[in-house]
Structures are given as structure tokens and as C-alpha cells.
Amino acid sequence: MEIFLQACVNGLLIGGFYSLMGMGQNIIFGVMKIINFCHGEMLMIGMYLTFVFNSYFGLDPYLSIPLVVVIMFALGALIQHTLITPSLGTKSFTNLLFLTVGLGMLFQNLALVIFSPNYRTITTSYSSKTLSFGPVTMSLPKMISFIGLIIVTVALFWFLKYTPTGKKIRAVSQNPIGAEVVGINTKRIYIITYGLGCALAGIAGALLTLFYMVYPMVGASFSFKALIVVVVGGFGSIQGAFFAGIFLGLLETLSSLIVGPTYRDLTVFVTFIVILVVRQVIKLRRR
């Protein structure tokens, strides 16, 4: 029972990261109808930025979050402006798909060239402290990151719901032509959206750095998990992504507890395929 509770808590935590990644991915998909295959690499860049700030400038990982956000937003805006917006005009789904795949490859291998494939970690004065709640123990960094995840998620919901920019983003994702007709600069919204998506991945990376190893390929698994979250939660639905992320995290930790760690990914992928196909079959039956 204790192991089960502990697994649930860990699942919630990792699920929170999947949610955050998935929500970033989902905003991008909602607005531009493209799958961002380099989302995991954005997380990787966020992690490396945090690592560099910590080991070369002595900045605390949590205090470096604002800097990471600014850099990631700028990077995302630059990519959107120079590469994605011009390619959106060709209306070719294949090209847009492989554009982001190419970006992912570029970032991954740049990280490999700059930082070498070594695994790196950050240690701070508080990284080995633990807190216990009844039978469940949790390290302090994990606790702080969890609170950070909740704050970011709430802030994101608030931003999309109440601020003018958030409303514009929702308008463009519902109907891009209509949005343009009422005077919204869609190109600017594209840039803001992609920057926001990258910044969210960067935050996830910064929050993850303290208890996860940093290496160039770290993004690959998160990238695909974020996509699973988006698909299961429904394209364009932010709430759906949130719950799907939590569900995925729980499924992962509980399946590695019940069927064994080597079968963890197998369980996740099979569940994913089954959910996708069954949902499509139901959709076709209803028609």
C-alpha cells in the first residue's frame, strides 16, 4: 500500500510535466494545426540553460526560470518568424512536419557537439532534503517543482481565459480567417503562440533539472509523451491535455509497479494505440 501511494505521488509529479509539455504543444497545434516535433528538444534546451546558469554563474535553478523563459520565448519567436510562418504558406503537412523534425535533429546534435553526450546533474544545498507526509516521502526539489507546475498551469489557464492576448490566441485557434477579419494580426499571434509553447517547455525543463539527468537525447521521450498527451486529451483542448498528462504519468508509474519496469513503455504505447483506434471507430459508427 505504501509503495502504491508512493508510486501515485511520483506518477502525479511526472504527469504534471507531461501536462505542461502537452499544453504547450496543444496551443501550438490549436493555432497553427502543426505538430511540433521539436517540443522535447525545447525542454532539453531549457534544461541545458538551467544547467549552464547554475554551473557557470552559480544561479539557483529555480531563480533562473525567468531568464530561461525569456530566452526560450525569443528562440521560439525567431524560429516561428524565420522558418515556420513562411512554410505555412505552402500548406504542405509533410513539409511542416519534417521542418520541426529537422529542427529537433539540429538542436539535439548541436547539444551533442557543445556539451558532449555525458550525463550531467545539478546539486544544490537543498537537493538531498526530503519531506515526509505519512507513509509518502518526497524530496524537497520535487516538492518545489510540483508547486511550480501547479502555479504555471493555473497561470496558463488564467492567461488564455482572461487576458486580451490569450483571448486572441483562442480566437485564432477557433477560426483563423474570422480572427483576421475582426482585425487580429494572426502572424503576430503565431509568433506569440510558438514562443509561449517553447517557454512552457523551457519552464518544464528548468523544473526538471534538479532531479533528472541532463543529456542531449533527454527530449526524445518527453517529445513523444507530450504528443500522446495531446492526442489522448484531444487536439486543441487545454483541459484535456492537463488530465491526459496526469493520467499518462500515473499509467507509467503504476504499470512499472504492476507489470514490471521493462514493460512500462510497451504498456503506454499499446494503451495509446488502442485509445486512438477505438475512439476513431466509435466516431465512425456515430456518423
Partner 1 sequence: MKVSKLTPYKIRKRIAIALLLVLLIALPLMLSNKPYIMNVFILIFYTSTMSMAWNLLGGMTGQNSLGHAAYMGLGAYVAALFVTKAGMNPWLSMLLSMLIVGGLAGVIFYPCFLLKGPYFTLVSIAFGETIRQFVINWDFAGKATGISLPFGAESFAEFRFMGKAPYYYIGLAMIIGVYLVMRKISRSKFGFALRTIREDEDVASAIGIKPMRYKVYALIVSSMIAAMVGSFYAYYNRYIDPDLMLQSYSVEFVLPAIVGGAAFVEGPLVGGAILITLSEFLRNEFGAILPGINLILYAVVLLVVIRFRPVGLLGWFSTSKLKNFLETKVLKKSEADEEI
Residues that bind partner 1 (CB under 8 A): 29, 35, 83, 86-87, 90, 92-95, 97-99, 101-103, 105-106, 108-110, 112-113, 116-117, 216, 220, 224, 227-228, 231, 235, 262-263, 265-266, 269-270, 272-273, 276-277, 280-281, 284
DSSP three-state, residue 235: coil
In terms of CB distance, is 98 or 159 closer to partner 1? 98
Report CA-CA distances (Å) from 117 to 52, 103, 110, 178, 215. 15, 19, 11, 47, 6
Cα-to-chain-centroid distance, residue 115: 22
Identify the DSSP state of 90.
Answer: T
Q: Kind and range of the H or E element at 131?
A: strand 130-133
* Residues 219, 150 contacting (CB under 8 angstroms): no
**Cβ 49 to partner 1, closest distance in Å?**
19
**Cβ 22 to partner 1, closest distance in Å?**
13
DSSP three-state, residue 137: strand
In terms of CB distance, is 112 or 147 closer to partner 1? 112
In terms of CB distance, is 133 or 269 closer to partner 1? 269
In terms of CB distance, is 177 or 284 closer to partner 1? 284
**Cβ 265 to partner 1, closest distance in Å?**
5
CA distance 59 to 274: 45
Cα Rg of the chain (Å, integer): 19
In terms of CB distance, is 125 or 262 closer to partner 1? 262
Looking only at the bridges linking them, the beta strands covering 136-139 and 130-133 are antiparallel
**Cβ 232 to partner 1, closest distance in Å?**
10
In terms of CB distance, is 113 or 177 closer to partner 1? 113
**Cβ 71 to partner 1, closest distance in Å?**
21
Query: Euclidean distance between the first and final Cα of the chain, in Å?
Result: 45
In terms of CB distance, is 14 or 35 closer to partner 1? 35
**Cβ 213 to partner 1, closest distance in Å?**
18
- Give the alpha-carbon dihedral of 123, 129, 131, 135, to 10 degrees: 90
CA distance 191 to 195: 6
**Cβ 263 to partner 1, closest distance in Å?**
6
